[in-house]
């Protein structure tokens, strides 16, 4: 089967971030399928374009046998403003359509994964032109997520976004979502037929992420020897509200002098967060640039507790952050600062504790409970690892996904 994937944020080989589609492409190619990805040239978190792509419109990369990635132009206005980001999305729509017509062969099926919603025209037009079925995947509920975080405020743009969303659901032969809450939202609020929806969630890269002893060399390099390390991995953007961890760090600076926060990743607010930490004299916080998937496990494994946080917002009660599966795969206890399905996931797995978003006191209470009980830490880590092995092995999820695609074809 020839599979064409439209994914603006598909990761490069050494990029940091969620590798769901990198893993799916690998497993499908190993099973004998031919996979082509139409991807953007700008990384979603850093908003930057690698030197190898600058001045180029389309670049073709053979990632591995059976997997080809076609990098398509994205405007570097991405991180300048909301309008700059909107223009970047539209520039990808145009460049990915050009690549889809002139740099690929006729596929058997087209898959588009969102956000952004601007992958919808590429999916719909290519599927119609090649007369093949298409699948639309919902990784995050847009435009609600952008509206609720205050990123999208223009009424005309909101109207256009809702229209584009409805067109995606209408055009798609099949829709896949990543959480059970997304199923409910699509059926109850978007009037999408339940029989048209599957839920194949984010999962654990168990062939990459695994428990390992703390790397003494890395501890020394980071300057974290002898510290109790609480780590956050991921984007430093408006929705992530990473500043709430600085509030916690400030409150426990004197009462828990051995605790160190390690914030790993990039994003639009990282510079502001670093400046804020410096103003507060937070010597119990370090910032680390994004690291690739193959290396990030080393950083997770030198941590004592890992955390996932987001803005306190009802929309985020519907999401499973990919990083949570990475933490479980490395057998790390978790403080989950996200209510809803993410909280339920961690609590069902007995892998950590919930702390109300943007509530420093709740977070500090969770730290104390886990930090002061090594047996509890070990039990949470082991329980989380066993839970993802049984329920969220990404290789098994890839097999379920391909079964759906083959039935559609």
Structure confidence by residue, pLDDT tens digits, 260-316: 999 999 988 999 999 999 999 999 999 999 998 789 999 999 999 999 999 998 889
Query: Is pLDDT at 29 greater than 70 in this prediction?
Result: yes
Residues paired with 352 in a beta bridge: 334
Question: Rounded distance, CA 237 to CA 270, Å?
Answer: 7
Query: Is pLDDT at 79 greater than 90 in this prediction?
Result: no
Angle at 325 between CA 319 and CA 328, to 5 degrees: 135
Determine contact, residues 310/338, Cβ cutoff 8 Å: yes
pLDDT at position 16, please? 64
Question: Rounded distance, CA 319 to CA 342, Å?
Answer: 6
| DSSP assignment of 213-270 | ---HHHHHHHT-TT-EEEEEES--STTT-THHHHHHHHHHTTTSTTEEEEEE---TTH
Query: Is pLDDT at 326 greater than 80 in this prediction?
Result: yes
Question: Rounded distance, CA 367 to CA 351, Å?
Answer: 14
Query: Is pLDDT at 88 greater than 60 in this prediction?
Result: yes
Residue 141 DSSP one-character state: -
Mean pLDDT (whole number) for 244-258: 97
Mean pLDDT (whole number) for 148-163: 83
Question: Rounded distance, CA 347 to CA 336, Å?
Answer: 9
Give the chain's largest Cα–Cα span. 65
Query: Which of 361, 43, 330, 57 has the alpha carbon at shortest distance from 210?
Result: 330
Query: Which of 125, 408, 401, 365 has the alpha carbon at shortest distance from 255?
Result: 365
Binned at pLDDT 50, 70 and 90, residue 156 comes out as confident
Binned at pLDDT 50, 70 and 90, residue 45 comes out as low
Binned at pLDDT 50, 70 and 90, residue 144 comes out as confident
pLDDT at position 350, please? 98
Query: Is pLDDT at 80 greater than 80 in this prediction?
Result: no
Predicted confidence (pLDDT) per residue in 103-134, tens digit: 999 999 999 999 889 999 999 999 999 999 99
pLDDT at position 122, please? 97
Query: Which of 254, 311, 249, 252 has the alpha carbon at shortest distance from 276?
Result: 249
Question: Rounded distance, CA 286 to CA 278, Å?
Answer: 10
Tell me what percent of the residues of the chain surpass a pLDDT of 90: 77
User: What integer best gives the mean pLDDT of the chain?
Assistant: 92
pLDDT at position 84, please? 64
Question: Rounded distance, CA 208 to CA 193, Å?
Answer: 36
Residues 6+ apart with CB under 8 A from 271: none
pLDDT at position 85, please? 67
Domains of the chain: 2-203+393-408 (3.40.50.2000), 216-391 (3.40.50.2000)
Q: Which residue has the higher pLDDT, 74 or 366?
A: 366
Question: Rounded distance, CA 93 to CA 88, Å?
Answer: 9
DSSP-H helix ranges across 4-140: 20-30, 82-102, 119-130
pLDDT at position 82, please? 57
Angle at 360 between CA 357 and CA 364, to 5 degrees: 110
What is the pTM (predicted TM-score) of this model?
A: 0.87
Predicted confidence (pLDDT) per residue in 186-228, tens digit: 999 999 999 999 999 989 999 889 999 999 999 999 999 999 9
Mean pLDDT (whole number) for 156-166: 89
pLDDT at position 83, please? 62
């Amino acid at each position: 089967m020839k599979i064409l994937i439209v994914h603006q944020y598909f990761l490069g080989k050494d990029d940091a971030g969620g590798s769901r589609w990198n893993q799916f492409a690998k497993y499908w190619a190993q099973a004998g399928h031919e996979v082509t990805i139409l991807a953007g040239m700008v990384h979603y978190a850093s908003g930057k374009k690698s030197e190898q792509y600058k001045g180029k419109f389309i670049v073709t990369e053979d990632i591995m046998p059976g997997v080809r990635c076609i990098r398509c132009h994205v405007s570097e206005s991405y991180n300048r403003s909301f309008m700059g980001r909107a223009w970047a999305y539209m520039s990808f729509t145009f460049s990915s359509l050009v690549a889809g017509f002139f740099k690929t062969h006729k596929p058997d099926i087209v898959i588009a994964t969102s956000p952004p919603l601007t992958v919808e025209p590429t999916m719909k037009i290519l599927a119609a032109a090649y007369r093949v079925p298409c699948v639309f995947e919902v990784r995050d509920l847009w435009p609600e997520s952008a509206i609720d975080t205050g990123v999208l405020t223009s009424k005309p743009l909101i109207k256009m976004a809702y229209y584009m969303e409805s067109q995606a659901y209408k055009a798609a032969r099949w829709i896949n979502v990543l959480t059970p809450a997304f199923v409910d939202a699509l059926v109850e609020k978007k009037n999408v037929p339940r029989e048209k929806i599957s839920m194949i969630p984010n999962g654990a890269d168990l062939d990459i992420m695994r428990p390992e002893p703390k790397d003494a060399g890395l501890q020394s390099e980071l300057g974290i020897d002898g510290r109790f390390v609480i780590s956050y991995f991921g984007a430093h953007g408006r929705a992530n509200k990473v500043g709430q961890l600085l509030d916690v760090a400030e409150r426990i600076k004197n009462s828990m002098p051995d605790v160190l926060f390690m914030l790993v990743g990039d994003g639009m607010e990282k510079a502001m967060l670093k400046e804020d930490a410096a103003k507060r004299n937070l010597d119990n916080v370090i910032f680390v640039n994004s690291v690739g998937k193959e290396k990030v496990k080393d950083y997770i494994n030198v941590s004592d507790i890992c955390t996932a946080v987001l803005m306190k917002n009802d929309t985020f009660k519907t999401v499973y952050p990919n990083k949570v599966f990475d933490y479980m795969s490395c057998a790390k206890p978790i403080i989950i600062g996200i209510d809803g399905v993410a909280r339920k996931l961690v609590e069902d797995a007995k892998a950590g504790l919930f702390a109300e978003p943007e509530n420093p006191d709740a977070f500090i209470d969770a730290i104390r409970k886990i930090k002061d009980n090594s047996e509890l830490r070990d039990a949470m880590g082991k329980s989380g690892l066993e839970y993802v092995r049984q329920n969220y092995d990404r290789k098994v999820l890839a097999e379920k996904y391909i079964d759906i695609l083959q039935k559609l074809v």
